C-alpha cells in the first residue's frame, strides 16, 4: 500500500450524505482528532433521472475501471459510490411521490366516470319525464278537440242549465290548467335532460383526459422504475464489493452515540420515535416500509403507523404535509427534511440527533441532526 493510500485510510474522514439524501461515513486517525469531510448532495451531483453514470467525468470513469478492492484510495471509490447511491435514493423518493400522484389521478378519473354515468342516467330519466308530460298534453288536446270544447262561449251555448254551465266551465278550466302544467313540465324536463347530457359529455371528456394523463404517468413511472432498478443494481454491486476498510468507512460510526437516552413518551410523536428506535440496526432497502427493512421515508411511515397516524409515503410529500417547525422549536418525533429537493428524511431523536435509514449497506442509525443540509422540519 503506498504512503498516499495509508494516509487516506488512516486520516481521511469521508462524509457521504445519501440514502435518498445522505448517510455519514466517517473514520478518524489513530493518533489525531482532525476530521475532514466531503459531502455528496443529490441536488448538486447532477439531475435525478439523467444519464449521469456515464458523464460524471474522469473520476467516475476511473472508479468504474478499477475494482473496489484495488490498491487505490478507498475514499475515492466511496465518493463516487456515494453519488450513485444518492441519485438512486433521490429517484426512489421521487418514484414514491409519482406513484401517489398516479393513484390520485386514477381516483379522479374514476370519480369523473361515475359523475358522467350519473348525469347520463339522470338525463334518461328526464327524457322519460318529458315524454310522459308531452303525452299528457297530446291526450288533453285530443279530448278538447273531440269534445268540441273551444272555450267559455261554446260552453255557455251548449249548457242546458246554469248548473251544467258551471260544470262545463269547471271542466274547461281543469283541462286548460292540466294542459298548461303538463306542457310546462315537459319543457322543463326536456331542458333538464339537455343540461344533464351536456354535463355527462363534459364529465366523460374529463374522465378520458384523466385516463390519458394517468396512462402517461404510468408509462413514465415504468420507465423510471426500470432506471431505478439499474441504479440499485449498480449500487448493490459496488457496495457488496467493498473491501473491509472501505466497508468500515461506508458504515460510519456507531448506531447509537455514547450517552444517548431516548426521551420519555409523552404523546404520539415521542411514542413514534421510541417505536422507530426499536429498528436501530435494521438494513436499508429501497421502497421498504418495514417491519424489518426500510428506506428513509418508509421508516417514518412505519413508525407513525404503529401509533395510528398515517404519513405520506415520500419524503417530498412529508416535506409539505404536517405543520412547519423552526429549528429552535424542534421536538423528538419531528421529521427533519434534508436537501433542497427534499430527497431524504429522518426523525429528530433529541440531544441534537436524528434517526434515519441512510442507504444500502448502512443500517438505521442515529447521527447529528445537522450532518446533512436541512431544508425543513415538519410536525405530525
Catalytic position from the list 96, 356, 365, 378:
356
CA distance 149 to 145: 7
- Helix axis angle, 74-147 to 296-305, nearest 10°: 60
pLDDT class for 125, splitting at 50, 70, 90?
confident
**Cell numbers representing residue 217 in the block:** 404517468
pLDDT at 48 over 60: no
Per DSSP, helices labelled H in the chain are 3-11, 58-65, 74-147, 152-158, 162-240, 244-251, 268-277, 296-305, 315-318
CA angle 47, 49, 50 (to 5 degrees): 65
296 is catalytic: yes
| Per-residue model confidence (pLDDT) at position 195 | 79
The residues that bridge with 347 in the sheet, in sequence order, are 335, 355
Q: Which of 196, 296, 347, 354 is catalytic?
A: 296
Q: What does pLDDT average to over the chain?
A: 73
**56 or 324, which is more confident?**
324
Cα separation, 125 vs 316, whole angstroms: 47
Q: Given the C-alpha cell 433521490, which residue does it identify?
A: 90
Q: Is a pLDDT exceeding 60 seen at residue 36?
A: no
pLDDT beyond 70 at 225: yes
Q: Which band of pLDDT confidence, cut at 50, 70 and 90, is reported for residue 170?
A: low
pLDDT, position 44? 33
pLDDT-based confidence at residue 375 (cuts at 50, 70, 90): very high
Residue 164: pLDDT over 70:
no
Catalytic one among 168, 231, 344, 378? 344
User: In this predicted structure, what is the pLDDT of residue 268?
Assistant: 97
* pLDDT confidence tier of residue 15, bands split at 50, 70 and 90: very low
d(CA 71, CA 144): 110
Residues 6 or more apart whose CB falls under 8 angstroms from that of 35 comprise 13, 26, 28
* DSSP-assigned states of every residue in 285-326: -TT-BSSS-B-HHHHHHHHHHTTT----SSHHHHTTSSEE--
Q: 318 is written with which cell numbers?
A: 412529508
pLDDT score of 329:
98
271 annotated active-site: no
Give mean pLDDT, residues 261-283: 97
Instruction: Tell me the pTM.
Output: 0.56
* Whole-number percent of the chain with pLDDT over 70: 62
> In this structure, what C-alpha cell is assigned to residue 56?
460524471
Percent of the chain with pLDDT over 90: 36
CB atoms within 10 A of CB 259: 6
Does residue 380 carry a pLDDT above 90? yes
Contact between 323 and 70 under an 8 Å Cβ cutoff? The reply is no
Known catalytic membership, residue 96: no
Amino acid at each position: 500500500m503506498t504512503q498516499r493510500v495509508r494516509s487516506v485510510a488512516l486520516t481521511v474522514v469521508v462524509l457521504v450524505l445519501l440514502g435518498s439524501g445522505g448517510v455519514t461515513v466517517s473514520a478518524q486517525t489513530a493518533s489525531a482528532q482532525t476530521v475532514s469531510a466531503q459531502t455528496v448532495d443529490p441536488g448538486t451531483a447532477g439531475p435525478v433521472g439523467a444519464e449521469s453514470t456515464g458523464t460524471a467525468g474522469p473520476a467516475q470513469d476511473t472508479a468504474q475501471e478499477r475494482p473496489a478492492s484495488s490498491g487505490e484510495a478507498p475514499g475515492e471509490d466511496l465518493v463516487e459510490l456515494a453519488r450513485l447511491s444518492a441519485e438512486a435514493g433521490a429517484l426512489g423518493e421521487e418514484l414514491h411521490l409519482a406513484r401517489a400522484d398516479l393513484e390520485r389521478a386514477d381516483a379522479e378519473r374514476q370519480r369523473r366516470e361515475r359523475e358522467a354515468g350519473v348525469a347520463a342516467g339522470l338525463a334518461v330519466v328526464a327524457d322519460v319525464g318529458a315524454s310522459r308530460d308531452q303525452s299528457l298534453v297530446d291526450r288533453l288536446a285530443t279530448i278538447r278537440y273531440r269534445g268540441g270544447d273551444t272555450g267559455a262561449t261554446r260552453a255557455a251555448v251548449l249548457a242546458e242549465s246554469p248548473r251544467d254551465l258551471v260544470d262545463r266551465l269547471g271542466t274547461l278550466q281543469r283541462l286548460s290548467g292540466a294542459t298548461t302544467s303538463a306542457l310546462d313540465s315537459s319543457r322543463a324536463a326536456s331542458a333538464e335532460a339537455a343540461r344533464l347530457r351536456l354535463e355527462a359529455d363534459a364529465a366523460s371528456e374529463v374522465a378520458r383526459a384523466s385516463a390519458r394523463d394517468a396512462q402517461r404517468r404510468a408509462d413514465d413511472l415504468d420507465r423510471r422504475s426500470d432506471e431505478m432498478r439499474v441504479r440499485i443494481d449498480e449500487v448493490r454491486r459496488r457496495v457488496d464489493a467493498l473491501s473491509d476498510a472501505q466497508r468500515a468507512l461506508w458504515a460510519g460510526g456507531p448506531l447509537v452515540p455514547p450517552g444517548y437516552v431516548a426521551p420519555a413518551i409523552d404523546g404520539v410523536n415521542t411514542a413514534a420515535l421510541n417505536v422507530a428506535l426499536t429498528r436501530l440496526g435494521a438494513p436499508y432497502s429501497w421502497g421498504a416500509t418495514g417491519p424489518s427493512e426500510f428506506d428513509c421515508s418508509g421508516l417514518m411511515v412505519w413508525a407513525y403507523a404503529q401509533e395510528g397516524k398515517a404519513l405520506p409515503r415520500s419524503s417530498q410529500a412529508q416535506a409539505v404535509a404536517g405543520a412547519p417547525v423552526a429549528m429552535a422549536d424542534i421536538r423528538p418525533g419531528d421529521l427533519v427534511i434534508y436537501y433542497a429537493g427534499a430527497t431524504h428524511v429522518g426523525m429528530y431523536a433529541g440531544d441534537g440527533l436524528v434517526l434515519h435509514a441512510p442507504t444500502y449497506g448502512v443500517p438505521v442509525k442515529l447521527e447529528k441532526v445537522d450532518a446533512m443540509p436541512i431544508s425543513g422540519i415538519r410536525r405530525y
